[in-house]
Structure 1
Amino acid sequence: MLGAAHKSLEVTGPKVPGTDEILTSAALAFVGVLCAQFTDRIDALLAERREAQARFDAGDLPRFLPETESVRADSWRVAEPPADLVRRTVEITGPVDPKMIINALNSGADVFMADFEDSSAPTWANMVGGQLALRAAVRRELEYVDEARAKHYRLRPETQDQPLATLLVRPRGLHLPEAHLRFGGRPAPAALVDFGLYLFHNAEHLLDSGSGPYFYLPKLQSHLEARLWNEVFVAAQDLLGIPRGSIRATVLIETLPAAFEMDEILFELREHSSGLNCGRWDYIFSYIKTFRADPSRIVPDRSEVGMTQPFMRAYTQLLIRTCHRRGIHAMGGMAAQIPRKDDLAANEAALAKVREDKLREARDGHDGTWVAHPGLIAVAREAFARVTEAPNQLDRLREDVEVGATQLCAPPHGQRTEAGLRLNVRVGIQYLEAWLSGNGCVPLYHLMEDAATAEISRAQVWQWRKHAVTLADGRVVDADLIEAVVAEELDTIRAEVGEARFDGGRFELARDLFLELALADELADFLTLGAYAHLPESPTP
């Protein structure tokens, strides 16, 4: 069966480090079986996304599904969490490069989410190299030498009192292709590639060591997509001969439609679920995208869309209640701040915001939270310790929470300013340039930016132009203003990074792509789809 499937899975990417170890005949055959079984289903689900968006564009609002009311009403619980996922107080995330993996596993966080998605640019070398690095990390063999700094990174010794972080992996979303592996004459679904290769190479070793193959699932928009993933898990476990339920997955609730189907998502994954997570940045982007045709729901400056905005607070509260009712973890959102050494006062002000954010999450009943930098781990852990020393808060049922469609769709409040427009342009162009150069996780202006935050930046500029938003100074956002601001901010970027870095980079291509996205008649679903063909050594999908 595996051999027959392998015949239709073609490697079109060049040979890169890790090719021989990762792209074995058996591994490709395994991924080929998954592609044969699920590619058409993925296509159908993506078509359903487009149909749903067309309804929103026509004026429909997201809603709780009447046909699944019994699922929301009935008493059922998901599977008990495995031992190494009972405590998830602090989770750190980052791309799948060796140095990041080593530092994150050594960091003292409870969990490390190794990310093939928003914080990794999907060059072929990055994707294969990430699989190679994770394979070595699972076996505690990963090392990395930074020759420029003469530093040698290795995993520290693991003890009962000081274990390494539990490893979770986030594959790319269902919408993304992997152009370097072709199935049936077309790019293979990147989600199945990332998931399949990691599971094939590591499941048995993880289970033998007392852990398991654990995942984060991004960008889901419906319980039908969760059903697909559950069927992928069942099929994959059967193919590998590992027990059903070995795989566990936390779903990121980072799209507005998914917030209306949280019970149903948990139900579909109930034997494989490890909870839900508040993917706050993508959620803001999804709010813009879902209501792209609605001039009454214009999002203000990105800096004003915090977790106390009514629509953001509503979904986090509902997520906690939903998860705890089903006996599983409700994870809080990302703290993207980067500790500063150049300005102690500014650093303390930034850390104070992180403390406030994490203390709010702990008091609300979250079971843990995300940070982007090791320097925030202690801050987040201390905030949760002020509320509870227990490994989680699953016993806090939050039956006081009452959230309906009105709260989830509430228009955000705040100003739209020239400074907000300029920051969106500056961040969007610089992130795109880094991504096009192979780096998907970028420190900009003391925040760690990834594809989700770049999506907010470019979608917000599009939304403001589409609806001719008036800025606080009275100017209307139109194509002329955007083009002028982009030209001026490109000069600012040149001055900030220096002539050599600018001339050696891909800033002009990034500018062109940003303008194309901001001035398009229709809002593009994802900036990464159009930019993918411009990655180094990337064939056209």
Structure 2
Amino acid sequence: MGMENHHQFGQLTLVAPLSESQRDILSDDAMAFVEQLVSRFASRVPELLAAREVRQQSVDAGQLPDFLPETREIREGDWTIQNIPSDLQDRRVEITGPVDRKMVINALNANVKVFMADFEDSFAPAWSAVIDGQRNLRDAVNRTITYTQPETGKVYALKEDPAVLICRVRGLHLPEKHLFWNGQPIPGALLDFGLYFFHNHKQLLENGSGPYFYVPKLQAYQEAAWWSDVFSFAEDQAGLPRGTIKATVLIETLPAVFEMHEILFSLKEHIVGLNCGRWDYIFSYIKTLRNHPDRILPDRQVVTMEKPFLNAYSRLLVRTCHRRGAFAMGGMAAFIPSKDAERNAWVLDKIQTDKALEANNGHDGTWVAHPGLADTARAVFDQCLGARSNQLDVTRDSDAPITAAELLAPCDGERTEEGMRHNIRVAVQYIEAWISGNGCVPIYGMMEDAATAEISRASIWQWIKHGKTLSNGQVVTKALFEQLLDEEMQVLAQEVGTERFSQGQFQEAAAMMARLTTSDELVTFLTLPGYEYLE
């Protein structure tokens, strides 16, 4: 980059053009706050990430994950989290989606209690999109957000009493390559958190809400303790009482399921709940147990919440959270409503079954990815909750203790050629969209985010590594994968049409999928190599 594109904010260097319209978000005051966060907290992130690698090496060498002996006192102690604010007491349905302007309005207007505005897995963090997203959220908090559809002139605006806003920031592993401090890109998480907090905390509190966050991808309680320090520092800087910032933490990695008490304890002034991030959790199960041939998952289509290892995870999360006075949020319904009546009835039936399982397990609420599914999910929870606004009273104390063996239990089901082909097509289409700047993509009637592509490529990588056999007797090899990838690219060319196929980045996506799936070492997150494609 030429020097003309550099801009200094104190010790932070922006290596991107700074347009006039971005200065309201990237103001000197806002960036001074981000700089304070970075100078205090950024240097600890590489240490936390290195600890993940050390732990992974011990699992690779045969040491299965387990509850930590050194934190037994926390698990057995009698303590609860600090409190849950009144506007978070009822979270029966939450909708999630990226932070583009029209989506923010529609999500806040949906028949839901909470909108999780996402800078993470359903969002591709191109620089202009990150800044626009922050502006969209600021305008939503100030209730001034509108959007005019260019083609039709239709105007979208907030209705009365919109959903409660929660901001999901990037995971600790994702850098922000446009901002440097001490010669290193800063953690994306600190930019996302810092800008949202700085611009909105006053107005949120005036609205009777507060600065609320979803924290993704944690793998250890030490990472939760880091976030607690970040939150406390921000509160002190803004002169806010301790515990004004509230976080819900996704339990979407296998290591974290063994540390749920510790994560709640480390964040106890700031945390209000944990969430079952099931797709990422499945990906993490594959990634963590990648060296264990007896724990290889079947086709992702059959890995449902009824499977013993996932059901144990849901029940343990409910029991742990409720014992500590925290919410236990359910996972994502990724289906999209269909214009075809028969297909739509099938979709709604699927939602009904899935959400009933969560409600009966004792979850306090659940996720949908599309406004058209809110009514169905809500009806399930309305019926289950009755006059209650949550299920904190469901303790599950009479359950048999859930053991590490149950959480790690192998999962039965077939590995099929059709499943493998489907995974390849979904992953390539998702990667193509992501590197083109779109992180939330409808594919075959499902709203896909990064976790889907992660499961697909990690699953096939593991089948190749261990020479697993498909149900038709074929052994999964690099050569078989490459053959199927070539064939499925031809299928995709027909499905999306020649013009879209040649104008898109499908060849780049296929090349990236091939690298990820056939590499000797399993790449930790596809969004890291994917980020290189984004402006």
Q: What band does the TM-score fall into relative to the shorter chain?
A: over 0.9
Please state if 1:58 is matched with 2:61. yes
From 345, 349, 355, give the equivalent of 2:346. 349
Tell me what 2:144 maps to: 141
Question: Aligned residue for 1:466?
Answer: 465
| 2:28 aligned partner | 25
Judge conservation of contact 1:170–1:218 (CA < 8 Å) in 2.
yes
Which of 71, 76, 95 is the aligned partner of 1:73? 76
1:16 to partner: Cα distance: 5.2
Aligned to 1:282: 280
Match of 2:40 in 1: 37
Distance 1:512 1:151 in 2: 40
The whole-number CA distance in structure 2 between the counterparts of 1:436 and 1:429 is 11
Tell me the secondary structure at the aligned position of residue 387 of structure 1.
helix
Secondary structure at the residue paired with 2:329?
Answer: strand
Residue identity in the other structure for 2:308: P
1:153-164 alignment, distance < 5 Å: 153-156=156-159, 158=160, 163-164=161-162
Which residue pairs with 1:502 in the alignment?
501
Per the normalisation by structure 2, the TM-score is 0.97
In structure 2, what residue type is equivalent to 1:439? N
1:31 and 1:356 map into 2 onto residues whose CA distance is 44
Q: Distance in 1 between matches of 2:472 and 2:21?
A: 54
Shift of residue 500 of structure 1?
1.1
- 1:411 pairs with 2:410: yes
Aligned residue runs from structure 1 range 246-395, under 5 A: 246-341=244-339, 343-389=340-386, 390-395=388-393
Q: Aligned to 1:394, what secondary structure does the other structure show?
A: coil
Match of 1:210 among 198, 208, 211: 208
- Give the AA of the match of 2:165: L
- 1:185 is the counterpart of 2:188: no
Letter in 2 for 1:468: G
CA distance in 1, matches of 2:522, 2:408: 19
Work out whether residues 16 and 125 of structure 1, in 8 Å CA contact, stay in contact via their aligned partners in 2.
no
Structure 1 residue 146, shift from structure 2 partner: 1.5
Distance 1:49 1:228 in 2: 14
2:3 maps to which residue?
none
Structure 2 distance, partners of 1:279, 1:148, is 36
**Pairing 1:103–2:102 present:** no
Distance 1:223 1:409 in 2: 20
Given the superposition, is the C-alpha separation of residues 16 and 451 from structure 1 closer, same or farther in structure 2, using an over 3 Å criterion? farther
Q: Which moved more, 1:11-20 or 1:467-476?
A: 11-20
Task: Please give the per-residue CA displacement for 1:377-399, whole angstroms capped at 9, x wherever unaligned.
Answer: 11011111222221001011110
Deviation at 1:148, TM superposition (A): 2.0
The equivalent residue for 2:86 is 83
**1:68-100 Cα deviation digits (max 9, x unpaired):** 000000110102210100000000000010111
**C-alpha distance in 2 between matches for 1:314 and 1:137:** 38
Provide Cα deviations, 1:432-461, integer angstroms capped at 9, x if missing partner: 000011100000000000011111111111
Amino acid at match of 2:529: G
Contact 1:204–1:242 (CA under 8 A) maintained in structure 2: no
For residues 18 and 501 of structure 2, the distance between their equivalents in structure 1, rounded to whole angstroms, comes to 30
| Shift in CA distance, 305/67, structure 1 to aligned 2, threshold 3 Å | same
Q: Secondary structure at the match of 1:180?
A: strand
The residue matched to 2:326 in structure 1 has which SS?
Answer: coil
Tell me if 1:123 matches 2:126. Answer: yes
- 2:191 and 2:17 map into 1 onto residues whose CA distance is 16
Indicate conservation of the 8 Å contact 1:18/1:129, yes or no: no
Give the match's secondary structure for 1:169. strand
Between the aligned partners of 2:468 and 2:178, the Cα distance in structure 1 is 41
Q: Alignment partner of 2:79: what SS?
A: coil
Q: Distance in 1 between matches of 2:238 and 2:180?
A: 22
Deviation by residue 1:138-182 (Cα, 9 ceiling, x = unmatched): 0001111111233211111x1xxxx21000000000000000111
DSSP 3-state at the match of 1:534: coil
Q: Which amino acid in the other structure matches residue 524 of structure 1?
A: V
Q: Distance in 2 between matches of 1:240 and 1:147?
A: 39
In the aligned structure 2, how far is the partner of 1:230 from the partner of 1:517? 34
> Is 1:516 the equivalent of 2:519?
no
CA–CA separation in structure 1 for the residues paired with 2:177 and 2:21: 17
SS in 1 for 2:148: strand
| Alpha-carbon separation, structure 1, partners of 2:291 and 2:417 | 22
Shift of 1:363: 1.0
What's the offset of the Cα at 1:422?
0.4
Counterpart residue identity of residue 10, structure 1: T
Aligned to 2:409, the other structure's residue is in SS state coil
Provide the C-alpha distance between the structure 1 equivalents of 2:20 and 2:124, rounded to a whole number of angstroms.
16
Task: Give SS of 1:459's match.
Answer: helix
Task: Check whether the contact 1:17–1:125 (CA below 8 A) recurs between aligned residues.
Answer: no
Deviations for 1:175-198, whole angstroms, at most 9, x for unmatched residues? 000001111111110000100010
Query: For 2:289 and 2:267, how far apart are their aligned partners in 1?
Result: 28
1:440-495: CA deviations, max 9, x gaps? 00000000000111111111111111111100000001011111111111111111
Q: Secondary structure at the match of 2:235?
A: helix
* Contact map agreement 1:18 1:132 (CA 8 A) in 2: no
Matched to 1:339, the amino acid is P
What amino acid maps onto 2:461 in structure 1?
Answer: W
CA deviation after TM superposition for structure 1 residue 400, in Å: 2.2
Tell me which residue corresponds to 1:12: 15
Question: Which shows bigger deviation, 384-393 or 502-511?
Answer: 384-393
Contact 1:30 1:200 in 2 (8 A): yes
Pairing 1:132–2:135 present: yes
**Distance in 2 of aligned mates of 1:144 and 1:6:** 31
- Count of paired positions: 526
> Could you tell me which residue of structure 1 aligns to residue 5 of structure 2?
none
SS at match of 1:22: coil
Length-normalised TM-score, structure 1: 0.96
Indicate the residue corresponding to 1:165 in structure 2. Answer: 163
Structure 2 equivalent of residue 448 of structure 1: 447
For 1:463 and 1:178, the matched residues in 2 are separated by 30
In the alignment, structure 1 segments of 5+ residues that lack a partner are none
**Equivalent in 177, 193, 196 of residue 195 of structure 1:** 193
How many angstroms apart in 1 are the aligned matches of 2:312 and 2:435? 36
- Closer/same/farther in 2, CA of residues 419 and 18 from structure 1, 3 Å limit: farther
